[in-house]
Structure 1
Amino acid sequence: MVLSVAGNSLVSGFIKKYGMKLGAARFVAGETLKEALEQVKLLNRDGLVVTLDHLGEFVFNEDEAWASTRACLDVLDGIKASGVNSNMSLKMTSLGLDLSKELCMKHMRMILDKAREYDNFVRIDMEDYAHIDVTMEIFNELRQEYGKHVGLVIQAYLYRTVDDMKLLEETYENLNLRLVKGAYLESPEVAYPNMEDVNKNYKKIIEMHLLAGHFTAVASHDDVMINFTKDLVKKHNIPNSQFEFQMLYGVRPETQRELVKEGYAMRVYVPYGNDWYGYFSRRIAERPANAFFIIKNMFRK
Structure 2
Amino acid sequence: MASLNSAVRRFIRSNNVRQAALASGAAEEFARSYVAGSTVEQAVAVVRRLRSQGLLASLAYLPASDDEAETPAMLLDSITRLGALAADSEISIKPSSLGLRSDPASAASRLDDLCAAAGEVGALVTLEMQGEGQYRETLELWQRTRERHNGLGLTLPADIRRSEREAGVLAAEGARLRLCVGSYPVPKASGHRSEKEKSLALVRCIRRVMEGGGYAMVASHDPTIIAIAQEVASRNAVAAFEFQMFYGVRPLEQRRLADICYRSRTYLPFGPAWFEYLTTRIAARPRTLFSYLRAVGDKR
Q: Find the counterpart in structure 2 of residue 281 from structure 1.
A: 279
What SS is found at the alignment partner of 2:160? coil
* CA shift digits 1:176-233 (9 cap, x unpaired): 0110011123222221111111111111110110011211111110000111111222
1:156 and 2:158 matched: yes
**What letter matches 2:156 in structure 1?**
I
Match of 2:252 among 244, 254, 277: 254
Normalising to structure 2: TM-score of the pair?
Answer: 0.87
* CA shift digits 1:142-180 (9 cap, x unpaired): 0111112x110011111111222233234x2x2101100
Unaligned runs of 5+ in 2: 1-6, 293-300
Q: Find the counterpart in structure 1 of residue 3 from structure 2.
A: none
Match of 2:120 among 114, 117, 122: 117
Q: Find the counterpart in structure 2 of residue 15 from structure 1.
A: 21
Normalising to structure 1: TM-score of the pair?
Answer: 0.87
Q: Aligned-pair distance for 1:82?
A: 5.3
**What letter matches 2:74 in structure 1?**
A
Change (3 A) 1:199 1:175: same
**What letter matches 2:286 in structure 1?**
F
1:292 and 2:286 matched: yes
Q: Find the counterpart in structure 1 of residue 4 from structure 2.
A: none
What SS is found at the alignment partner of 2:36? coil
Change (3 A) 1:183 1:191: same
Do the aligned residues in 2 keep the contact of 1:58 with 1:94 (CA within 8 Å)?
Answer: no
Change (3 A) 1:104 1:202: same
* CA shift digits 1:78-109 (9 cap, x unpaired): 22365575221111202222321122112112
Match of 2:144 among 141, 146, 167: 141
Do the aligned residues in 2 keep the contact of 1:44 with 1:85 (CA within 8 Å)?
Answer: no
Q: Find the counterpart in structure 1 of residue 194 from structure 2.
A: 194
The CA distance in 1 between the partners of 2:107 and 2:279, in whole Å, is: 26
Q: Find the counterpart in structure 2 of residue 30 from structure 1.
A: 37
The CA distance in 2 between the partners of 1:118 and 1:133, in whole Å, is: 30
The CA distance in 2 between the partners of 1:214 and 1:14, in whole Å, is: 48
Which piece of structure 1 moves more, 99-108 or 160-169?
Answer: 160-169
Q: Find the counterpart in structure 1 of residue 50 from structure 2.
A: 43
The CA distance in 2 between the partners of 1:85 and 1:151, in whole Å, is: 13
Which piece of structure 1 moves more, 181-190 or 77-86?
Answer: 77-86
The CA distance in 2 between the partners of 1:4 and 1:56, in whole Å, is: 20
1:72 and 2:69 matched: no
**What letter matches 1:236 in structure 2?**
N
* CA shift digits 1:61-84 (9 cap, x unpaired): xxx112222112112212236557
Q: Find the counterpart in structure 1 of residue 238 from structure 2.
A: 238
The CA distance in 1 between the partners of 2:159 and 2:290, in whole Å, is: 22
What SS is found at the alignment partner of 2:134? helix
The CA distance in 2 between the partners of 1:58 and 1:204, in whole Å, is: 37
Q: Aligned-pair distance for 1:284?
A: 4.5
Do the aligned residues in 1 keep the contact of 2:91 with 2:125 (CA within 8 Å)?
Answer: yes
The CA distance in 2 between the partners of 1:210 and 1:295, in whole Å, is: 37
The percentage of aligned residue pairs carrying the same residue is 25
The CA distance in 2 between the partners of 1:297 and 1:178, in whole Å, is: 31
* CA shift digits 1:222-278 (9 cap, x unpaired): 000111111222222222xx1111111011111111111111111010111111112
Do the aligned residues in 2 keep the contact of 1:57 with 1:94 (CA within 8 Å)?
Answer: no
The CA distance in 2 between the partners of 1:220 and 1:9, in whole Å, is: 33
The CA distance in 2 between the partners of 1:57 and 1:14, in whole Å, is: 21
Q: Aligned-pair distance for 1:5?
A: 2.9
**What letter matches 2:157 in structure 1?**
Q
Change (3 A) 1:155 1:13: same
The CA distance in 1 between the partners of 2:115 and 2:87, in whole Å, is: 19
The CA distance in 2 between the partners of 1:103 and 1:15, in whole Å, is: 39
